[in-house]
Structure 1
Amino acid sequence: MQRRLALASFAALGLSACGFQLRQAPRFGFSALRLAGAGAYVMPALRRELQIYGLRVITTADPKDAPDAVVLRVLLDQRERAVVGQTASGQVRELQLRQRFRFNLQTHDERILIDDTELLLERDLSFNETQVLAKDAEELLLYRDMTADIVQQVVRRIAALDKV
């Protein structure tokens, strides 16, 4: 028993000495962010995530609502589906799912903080026409996971900025 305790404390001491630290909630260099542009897939999830972290998210186009807000402009938010594998008889066997998200971030006076940035995620999906409903559900799950990955990448990029 004491041997396990000593081993556990040695492991904890070793992790603290190497600089290991759990990921903290992001801190932003601004208090308000305006979402601009059209985005049906990533924007709702991004709005929820930013609000969870305590950032005031404005979706109206009126700059009087928050004159000091930085603007995250969504330039592209789309999903793609491409056939990458077929049988000899022409039946689909494999699909590639893609999700693209292009955005930029600028201050209220249009000073660029993050230049146009495109995030592209791809996932492969095997397909079987006898399991169409299950594959549709799997496709939706893969798209939801890609959306969550994109949201986390955008949040980390925004949080990496210094004070605005």
Structure 2
Amino acid sequence: MQRRAFLTAASSVSLALAGLGGCGFALRKAPNFAFSTLYSSLPESSPLGVELRRSLEATGKVKVISDLRRINEAQVILEPLLDQREKVVLSLNATGQVREFQLRLRFRFRLHTPAGKELIPASEISLQRDISFNESAVLAKEAEEALLYRDMQSDVVQQIMRRLAAVTEL
């Protein structure tokens, strides 16, 4: 009896997977870029810059150059215009103490060739997350804030990767 139930379940799963393949579903693959070298002036100390560099080089298709003296080796230049983190008070309780914050991450950039041809005009990625605040759990809330910023940063890097992959020709 158990064997029959297992075989029925296995055949149902196989049928569902075959249906997904027929509709064009496919797992996300590493992006293809129109360039193989990119210069980025994001500082070495920037967490976003480090994660972006790692993500680009992990594809195995792009070499990131961060040395200004080697800028002429790059096919494209990623120019960061703004990298900003903000913490804004959203609400207060009856006694005037902070009850909720909004964390914001804004990143503005442009992509161009060394000759000046603009491939991606100045674009901004803006993310925000709400976080409640409790004075009795300050350390836990600081850790939660750091985790939310890291999550937003990863999201920004993925959005940048998709926008860079959308560039089809230099």
> Does the alignment reach a TM-score above 0.5?
yes
Residues 148-159 of structure 1 correspond to what in structure 2 (within 5 A)? 148-159=154-165
The structure whose residues are more often helix, as a share, is 2
Larger Rg computed on CA atoms: 2
1:127 equivalent in structure 2: 133
Change (3 A) 1:9 1:64: closer
Equivalence map 1:25-64=2 (5 Å): 25-36=30-41, 40-54=46-60, 55-63=62-70
- Unaligned ranges ≥5, structure 1: none
Structure 1 residues 79 and 64: CA distance shift in structure 2, 3 A: closer
1:61 positional shift: 1.5
SS in 1 for 2:68: coil
Q: Give the aligned partner of residue 89 of structure 2.
A: 83
Q: Does 1:19 align with 2:31?
A: no
- Aligned CA distance change for structure 1 residues 147 and 63 (closer, same or farther; 3 Å): same
Q: Where does residue 4 of structure 1 map in the other structure? A: 9
Q: Which amino acid aligns with 1:107?
A: T
What TM-score comes out, normalization by structure 1 length?
0.94
Letter of the 2:121 counterpart: D
Which TM-score applies when normalising by structure 2?
0.91
Offset at residue 63 of structure 1 (A): 4.6
Greater displacement, 38-47 / 14-23:
38-47
CA RMSD of aligned residues (A): 1.5
Q: Secondary structure of the equivalent of 1:163?
A: coil
- Check the 8 A contact 1:104/1:116 in 2, yes or no: yes
The answer on whether the counterparts of 1:81 and 1:95 sit within 8 Å (CA) in structure 2 is yes
Rounded to whole Å, the distance in 2 between the matches of 1:31 and 1:109 is: 16
Cα distance between partner residues in 2 of 1:95 and 1:64: 41
Unaligned runs of 5+ in 2: 1-5
User: Size of the alignment, in residue pairs?
Assistant: 163
